Amino acid sequence: MQQSQPLLTEEDSQDVEGVEVHAGIDYDLWQKDMGTPLRSSRIHALQILALQSYRTTRHYIQDNILTRRFLISILPQYLQPGGLKAPPNLRSTAYLDALRGYAAWAVVNHHFYWENHYLKLPFIDVIHSGRAMVDIFFVISGFVLSHNLLQKIRNKKEQQLLRSLASSTFRRYVRLYFSAGFAALVSMLLIRMNAMRHPIVPRKGSFCAQLGDFLRDMLRFSNPFAEVRGYFGKPSTPNSKYHTYLWTIPAEFRGSMVVFFFCLACCKMSTTHRTIACWLLILLCYAWDATYVALFMFGVFLAERSLSRPAPDADLPAPEIQQLQLEVGEHARRQRWRRDSFMSTGQYLVASIALIVGIFLCSQPHNLGREGPWPWPYLSQVVPSWWRGEEAGREHFWLSIAAGLIVYALETCPPLQRPFNWGVSQYIGKLSFGIYVMHLLVARVFWDVPLHDLRIWLGGGQKAYCVAYVIFMFLVFWAADYFIRVDRHIIAFGRWLEKKTFI
């Protein structure tokens, strides 16, 4: 477990040294003073006791430090000293982690939405547009999974590419299903301890019967060859009855395999041909009603595009700069700077428009907007009529486009990434998976009973709801923090297994 402070701080070491200094007492002088007043004798007696128990006292001090370290470590990181500081040397894609964290938070709001007219307004509605946030998950996954692989393809590092593909494919199942299985296991234990009432899973007569039912459910849920339709509510989408929000895991695993296969199949193509193949697959996925796969591939396209763009600080080597200035002079250099500045301004303008349109599309009303305000009755007619499934699947036509536009805007315009690089945003991003899988359990343990009683005691209404919501999110972040600690061990186990089995 990662510790938040050293074993013995400088201040503590000074305390230990102070014990040694003050413990040096003259025995003869103490014996001569036996006739002194009682208060002085007691002081000397305590000093002698401190001298005789020096080693024991030192051990107690060390034990107290360990106890303090332990108490700090069991707190969530946001309550630990410096827990919300931004980590140094952020990666160029660190903003995507924060975006995923805020998207997970919006999913929580989606599941605990309360009626309020202002929350239904366009653009504001995005804070609880849970289904659009799931689409953002898929775009980010496609970007992150393919970025390193595409970089190796561009650099023609075939051996490293093969190693990375084998490693990613091997560990992906453990990464997703083992972590999801742990969340479902916690749900099963809460049901068994009567700490949580589940609307689908009854409490069995014995622990062994409950455990057997859980294992059968996990065996069915973790089948990597099952049919995946991609979204909750569609037929044949694998899910766990112990944790109904795990339906995204099979879609995440299937989309990851598509990304790995695409990188393998197109690694010998040029960048242009690979981009064409990527867009062809995206369009076919929309025709095949496989929207979640199209989102993964759009993430691949964004990763390819980010690698094609030069670094912000990159420039010509110094000798070439000097040669350029000698040949064409200062005027040409200024013209080049103006051209690049104009292109950046236009690029940022397009990104801003894409962000605005994406956030607006996230505010899609229910029932595909057929009865919503303009322009939703017209936009709903564009949804392909041959798509199978209920409205829960068909509504992702525009929501998926919204997700792609939002991630595209953030990737294209670096100034928009700055709020996502703050320490708080990075912490929320680190908890994203934990927020998503643990908020249901926290809700069934706390929201349905004690926080419900608190809302009634506060008189109901939106003010009471807001107070309960703050407490609820405090508990969700705490539970997510614990989950991420276990998740790190699962990731380490996957790497250990790879190290032991790979040659």
Q: What distance in Å separates the CA atoms of residue 160 and residue 157, rounded to the nearest whole number?
A: 6
Give, in order, the Cα–Cα distances in Å from 104 to each of 111, 134, 480: 11, 8, 11
Q: Are 394 and 233 in contact (CB under 8 A)?
A: no
The one-digit pLDDT tens for each residue of the chain (503 residues) are 444 433 333 334 434 333 333 334 444 443 444 444 444 555 566 566 656 665 565 555 455 666 666 667 777 887 877 778 877 788 888 999 999 999 999 999 988 766 555 677 778 888 888 889 999 999 999 999 999 999 999 999 999 999 999 999 999 999 999 999 999 999 999 999 988 877 788 888 899 999 999 999 999 999 999 888 877 766 667 899 999 899 999 999 999 999 999 999 999 999 999 999 999 999 999 999 899 999 999 999 999 999 987 654 444 444 554 454 444 555 545 555 444 555 577 888 899 999 999 999 998 887 777 777 888 888 888 888 888 656 667 889 999 999 999 999 999 988 899 999 999 999 999 999 999 999 999 999 998 888 888 888 888 888 888 899 999 999 999 999 999 999 999 999 999 999 999 98
Supply angle C-alpha 418, 421, 422, rounded to 5. 100
Q: Are 359 and 405 in contact (CB under 8 A)?
A: no
Residue 145: name the closest of 51, 280, 261 by CA. Answer: 261
- Tokens 């190693």, residue located: 163
- Residue 149: CB atoms within 10 A of its CB come to 22
Buried b or exposed e, range 398-415, using 16+ CB within 10 angstroms: bbbbbbbbbbbbbbbbee
Structure tokens at 285: 């996925």
Say whether 240 sits in a helix, a strand or coil. strand
Q: What distance in Å separates the CA atoms of residue 146 and residue 260, rounded to the nearest whole number?
A: 7
Amino acid at 474: F
Q: What distance in Å separates the CA atoms of residue 183 and residue 245, rounded to the nearest whole number?
A: 10
Q: What is the dihedral of CA 55, 59, 65, 68, to 10 degrees?
A: -140
Amino acid at 465: Y
Supply angle C-alpha 100, 101, 102, rounded to 5. 95
Query: Radius of gyration over alpha carbons of the chain, in Å?
Result: 30
DSSP 203: P
Q: Are 189 and 204 in contact (CB under 8 A)?
A: no
Which residues on neighbouring strands pair with residue 240, listed in sequence order?
243
Helix extents (H) in 7-53: 10-22, 27-32, 38-52
Q: What distance in Å separates the CA atoms of residue 445 and residue 81, rounded to the nearest whole number?
A: 29
Structure tokens at 206: 């014995």
Q: What is the pLDDT of residue 83?
A: 75
Structure tokens at 56: 């024991």
Q: What distance in Å separates the CA atoms of residue 462 and residue 117, rounded to the nearest whole number?
A: 12
User: Model confidence over 72-113: pLDDT tens digits?
Assistant: 777 788 787 777 887 778 888 899 999 999 999 999 998 876
Q: What is the pLDDT of residue 176?
A: 96
Q: Are 151 and 387 in contact (CB under 8 A)?
A: no
| Sequence-separated (6 or more) residues with CB below 8 Å from residue 391 | 367, 368
Q: Are 23 and 47 in contact (CB under 8 A)?
A: yes
Say whether 383 sits in a helix, a strand or coil. coil
Q: What distance in Å separates the CA atoms of residue 222 and residue 243, rounded to the nearest whole number?
A: 13
DSSP 484: H
**pTM here?**
0.81
Q: Are 21 and 97 in contact (CB under 8 A)?
A: no
Q: Are 240 and 218 in contact (CB under 8 A)?
A: yes
Q: What distance in Å separates the CA atoms of residue 121 and residue 375, rounded to the nearest whole number?
A: 14
Which residues on neighbouring strands pair with residue 243, listed in sequence order?
240
Q: What is the pLDDT of residue 48?
A: 65
Q: What distance in Å separates the CA atoms of residue 8 and residue 109, rounded to the nearest whole number?
A: 42
